[in-house]
Structure 1
Amino acid sequence: MIARHWRGWTKPEDADAYEKLLRDTVLPEIQNIEGHKGVLLLRNDGPQECQFVVINFFESLDAVKRFAGNDYRVPVFEPEARRLLSRVDPFANHFDVRAAHLPE
């Protein structure tokens, strides 16, 4: 399994709108990609900006490429998401998942 890790930041006043866009539009679309296995959406609210960490799980690098294309390290954005984000990681990172245990 492959974990695709990416970070983006918003101004505090844009954080709720960005999270809603992720939950209502972006993540449901990604879940329809063949080979997508799940997602973690993390948020850390700070006084000056809010950080989001998105970790998508895919069964293989081929599944990642179905989502992101052949240049799969480049982040994928909805136009509205790009407007809400104040800064972004320029690349997504990919990790081989060696173990996973999440509490219910």
Structure 2
Amino acid sequence: MIARIWKGKTKIEHLEEYTDFMKVRAIPDYAQVDGFIKLTFLKRIDKDYAYFELITFWENMEVIKGFAGNNFEKAKYYSEDKNYLIDFPERVTHYEVFAE
């Protein structure tokens, strides 16, 4: 199993709207991919920003390539993300899960 980790940041005033967007748009999108296992979506705030960390779990790297393309380390964004995110990290990180 492979974990794919993405991090993002919004203004605090966009926290709830972006959270709702991810629940309605992104999570169902991941879930429909054959070979997707599960995800964990984390959020936290400080005095200035809301931070997100998305950890998706996939059967193997071939499944991830099917989802993200051959440049699988490149982050995948939705057109609506420009309404919420402050920056757009170009890369995600992958880890092999060896224990749960």
Q: What is the aligned partner in structure 2 of residue 68 from structure 1?
A: 68
Check if 1:15 corresponds to 2:15: yes
Quick check: 1:40 aligned with 2:40? yes
Q: Given the two structures, how large is their TM-score scaled by the length of structure 1? A: 0.92
TM-score, normalisation: structure 2: 0.95
Q: Deviations over 1:32-56 (max 9, x none)?
A: 1010000000001111001000000
Residue identity opposite 1:73 in structure 2: E
Q: C-alpha distance in 2, partners of 1:58/1:82? A: 26
Per the TM alignment, residue 58 of structure 1 is displaced from its structure 2 partner at its CA by 0.2
Moved over 3 A (4+): none
The CA distance in 2 between the partners of 1:36 and 1:77, in whole Å, is: 17
Identity of aligned residues (%): 27
Counterpart in the other structure of 2:56: 56
Report which stretch shifted further, 81-90 or 46-55.
81-90
Aligned-residue CA RMSD (Å): 0.9
Indicate the SS of the match to 1:85: coil
- For 2:86, what is the secondary structure of its paired residue? strand
Q: For 1:42, what is the secondary structure of its paired residue?
A: strand
Please give the per-residue CA displacement for 1:27-85, whole angstroms capped at 9, x wherever unaligned. 11111101000000000111100100000000000111111100011111111113210
Q: Distance in 2 between matches of 1:44 and 1:58?
A: 24
Gaps of 5+ in 2: none
**CA distance, structure 2, for counterparts of residue 14 and residue 7 of structure 1:** 16
Structure 1: state its 5+ residue gaps: none
**Aligned letter for 1:31?**
A
- Partner of 1:29 in structure 2? 29
